[in-house]
A and B are shown apart, each in its own frame.
Chain A
Amino acid sequence: MTAAATLAQNLLAQLQDAGAQVVTADILQPAETLLDLYGEDIRARAYVTHDPALGEMMLRPDFTVPVVQAHMQGGAEPARYCYAGPVFRKQDQGRAREYLQVGFELFARDNPARADAEVFARFAQLLSGYDLRPVTGDIGILKAAVAGLDTSARRKAALMRHIWRPKRFRALLERMGGQGPLAAPRAELLRALQVAPCATLLDQAGPLVGLRNEAQIAERVAALLEDAATPPVPAAQIAALEGLLSLSGGARDVARDLRAQGWDALVPALDRLEARLDALDDAGIDTSSLPFEASFGRTNMEYYDGFVFGFIAQRADMPPVATGGRYDALTTVLGQGREIPAVGGVIRPDTLVALGGGA
C-alpha cells in the first residue's frame, strides 16, 4: 500500500471509531445527475465516458452525490457516514488526476449549529498533527444579504443564482445599482416596446423556430419591462454588500462587526453564525482566533450553501488539504421533494503525505 493509502485507511478507521458508518460508491456514476447539478462546466473537470447501454457515465469526481443518494434511499436519521477511495478530476499540468479522498458526512435535522461544529471539530482533530491553517466562512450570510436588498424578487433571484460566480455576481450588482448605461441592445428593445407591443415585434421578427414559444418570449419581455421600471438598488446597500464580501478576521470579531452594522436582514443568519461559534467553543475550538473569510467557498464549492470550511497547507503550491461545508439545497435537489440537512467534508491524504510530518 502507498503511504497515502495507508493514511487513508488510518483516517477512515478513526472516523469509524467516532461512530461513522463506512459507505462505498461506484466509480462509474451516471453523468446526467452530475451535469444537472454542476452544469456543463463539470465536463471540463470530470472524465466522461460512454456506455453503450447506460449512456454517458462519469468517473466519480467526488463521493458526496452518491452518498447523499444512498442516504435518501432509506438511511436512518441522524446518520454519520465515512468513506475512502480515489476520485478523478481533469487537472492542469502537474496536479494529480487520480487522488484519494477520505470523507465524513453528517445528516441531521436537529441543531444544525451542533452538526456544523461536530464536523469541523472532527476534521480539526484528524488533522491536528499537521501544520495547516483553518479557514471558515458562511454562504448563508451572503444569501441573507442578497435577500435583504431593497429590490425586486426577480433581481434577488438572479443574484442568488450567481453567488458562486463572483465576476458575474459583481456585474449584475453594478447593473442593478444603475452604474453605467444600459446595454445598447436592451435600451433599443425597451424603446421599441414603447412604440409597439411585444406581439407586434414578434410579428416583425419573422417565423419563430424552436421549442421556446411566444408566451415564453412575452413573459420575459414583461419581466424586462418590470426590471426597467425597478429603481436601482440603493448605493449604500451595494457598498454594504461589497464590504461584507471583503470581511475577514477572527470569527468572533467578524460576527461582532456584522452585528454592529445594524443590518436587520442579517440578524437570523448572524444568530445562526453565533450559535455555531458557541457550539464550536463547546467542541473545544478557539473561535476568537478561528479565521473567518466572508468570501470563502464562493468559487469552487458550488453546492455549499451555509457553513464552509477548509484546512490549507502553508505552501501555496498545494491544493487545500481538506474542504467541507453544509449543503442542504443539494439534498433537496437530489431527494426529488425530500430533503435532509447535511454537512460534511473531505481530506486529501496524498497532499498530507506530500507535506510530510503529521501524527
Chain B
Amino acid sequence: MMLKLGVPSKGRLMEKTFDWFATHGLTLQRTGADREYAGSVAGVDGVELVLLSASEIPRELAAGRIHLGVTGSDLVRETLADWQAQVVELALMGFGHADLVVAVPKAWVDVETLDDLDAVAAAFRARHGFRLRIATKYHRLVREYLRAHGVADYQLVDSQGATEGTIKNLTAEAIADITSTGETLQANHLKILHDAPVHCSQATLFASRAADWRAVADIRTTLFAKLGVGDVGGLNG
C-alpha cells in the first residue's frame, strides 16, 4: 500500500507546497499532460501524490482516504467538526498566510471592538426588527468566535464570494472574511475590528487520524524523519 499525500492541485499554493517539500528532500511534480491531475514523488519510496482542490482536502483527511494533506488551517477548522479529533497538525508551513477578520463600515466611528459590535447589534435589532447581519462563508469559525466573545443579536448570512460588497448591496451590515493585505476591505470602505482575528490561517501539513497507517508504517517512519516530524500519537495504527 502507498502512503497518500494530498496537495492543492493548482496555483501558488501548489507551487509553494512543492517548494516546501523540496527543502525537505522530496521532489513533488505534476506528470502527464498539462491539464491532467497526476503527480509523482521522488525522494521517499511508497508515497503517492494526490492532487486535490484545497477545499476538499479536509474532507478527504477526515474520511481517511489520504494519509497526509496540505491545506489552509482555516479550511480544516471550518469544515471539520471537532477537527482535532479527526486530524493532527504536523507542520505549519510558513506560507499562505491570511487572517479571518470581522470588518464593519469605516464610517462607523463608534465601532472599533467586538464590545461595540455587540452594543450596536442590540440597538440595530431594536430599531430594524431583525438581527444585525454578518456575511461570511466561515460559519462555524465566526459563530464560535462571536459566542466566545459574548456577542448576541446577530445573524450570519451566507456569502461565498465578493463578501466585501454585501454591505453596499444592503444584504449585510458587517462581514467576516479572509484578508491578507486588507486592500479589498479598504477599497470597499470597510475597517477591521481591533480585537484578535477570528483565526490566523496558513498552509499546514495535516495527518489523518482515520487513515490506515498500519499498512504504511515503514514509509511513515522514513517520511516523518525526512520532514522532521516527531512522534505523533493517535494515528490509526
Query: Which residues of A line the B interface, CB within 8 A?
Result: 35-36, 39-41, 43-44, 92-93, 158, 161-162, 165, 167-168, 171, 183-186, 189, 198, 201-202, 205-212, 214, 216-217, 219-221, 224
Contact = CB atoms under 8 A, between A and B. Distances in A.
27 contacts: A35-B131, A36-B131, A39-B152, A40-B131, A40-B156, A44-B140, A44-B143, A184-B194, A186-B113, A189-B109, A198-B109, A202-B107, A202-B109, A205-B106, A206-B189, A208-B105, A208-B107, A208-B189, A209-B167, A209-B190, A210-B168, A210-B172, A211-B128, A212-B120, A216-B123, A220-B123, A221-B110
Contacts of B153: 39
Given A209-B105, A212-B105, A212-B173, A168 B110 contact: no
Nearest to B144: A44
B34 interface: no
Nearest to A169: B150
Nearest to A205: B107
A39 B110 CA distance: 24
Contact of A168 (B106, B150, B173, B190): B150
A156 to B, nearest CB: 13
A214 B139 CA distance: 29
B82 A92 contact: yes
Contacts of A167: 150
Contacts of B147: 41, 44
- How would you classify the secondary structure of chain A's contact residues: helix, strand, loop or mixed? helix
Contacts of A162: 150, 152
Interface string B124-156: 100110010000000110011011011011111
A120 to B, nearest CB: 30
Contact of B107 (A39, A93, A217): A217
A76 to B, nearest CB: 31
Given A210-B170, A210-B173, A219-B123, 9 more contacts: A162-B152, A168-B149, A209-B107, A209-B167, A211-B170, A212-B105, A212-B173, A214-B107, A217-B108
B146 A40 contact: yes
Interface in B47-99: 82, 85
B119 A220 contact: yes
B113 A183 contact: yes
Range of interface residues on B (Cβ < 8 Å): 35 or more
A189 B150 contact: no
Contacts of B173: 210-212
A224 B116 CA distance: 10
Contacts of B108: 205, 212, 217
B127 A216 contact: yes
A40 B139 CA distance: 10
Nearest to B167: A210
Given A165-B152, A167-B150, A205 B168 contact: no
A36 B127 CA distance: 15
Interface of B: 82, 85, 105-110, 112-113, 115-116, 119-120, 122-124, 127-128, 131, 139-140, 143-144, 146-147, 149-150, 152-156, 167-168, 170, 172-173, 188-190, 194
Contacts of B107: 202, 205-209, 214, 217
Given A40-B156, A206-B107, A220 B168 contact: no
Contact of B155 (A40, A205, A212): A40
B14 to A, nearest CB: 34
Contacts of A224: 110
A93 B139 CA distance: 21
B55 to A, nearest CB: 21
Given A165-B150, A167-B150, A35 B155 contact: yes
Given A183-B113, A185-B113, A202-B107, A209 B155 contact: no
B105 A189 contact: no
Contacts of B140: 44
A74 B108 CA distance: 45
A202 B168 CA distance: 17
B120 to A, nearest CB: 6
Nearest to A36: B131
B85 to A, nearest CB: 7
For B82, B140, B144, B155, the residue with the greatest tally of chain A CB atoms inside 10 Å of its CB is B155
Q: Top 4 A-B pairs ranked by shortest CB distance?
A: A168-B150, A185-B112, A208-B107, A210-B167
A267 B221 CA distance: 71
A206 B106 contact: yes
B82 A93 contact: yes
A189 B120 CA distance: 16
Contacts of B143: 40-41, 43-44
Contacts of B172: 210
B122 A161 contact: yes
B44 to A, nearest CB: 34
For A40, A162, A201, the residue with the greatest tally of chain B CB atoms inside 10 Å of its CB is A40
A212 B154 contact: no
For A39, A198, A202, A217, the residue with the greatest tally of chain B CB atoms inside 10 Å of its CB is A39
Contacts of B168: 209-210
A209 B147 CA distance: 26
Contact of B110 (A44, A158, A189, A206): A189
A39 B156 CA distance: 10
For B108, B116, B149, the residue with the greatest tally of chain A CB atoms inside 10 Å of its CB is B108
Contacts of B194: 183-185
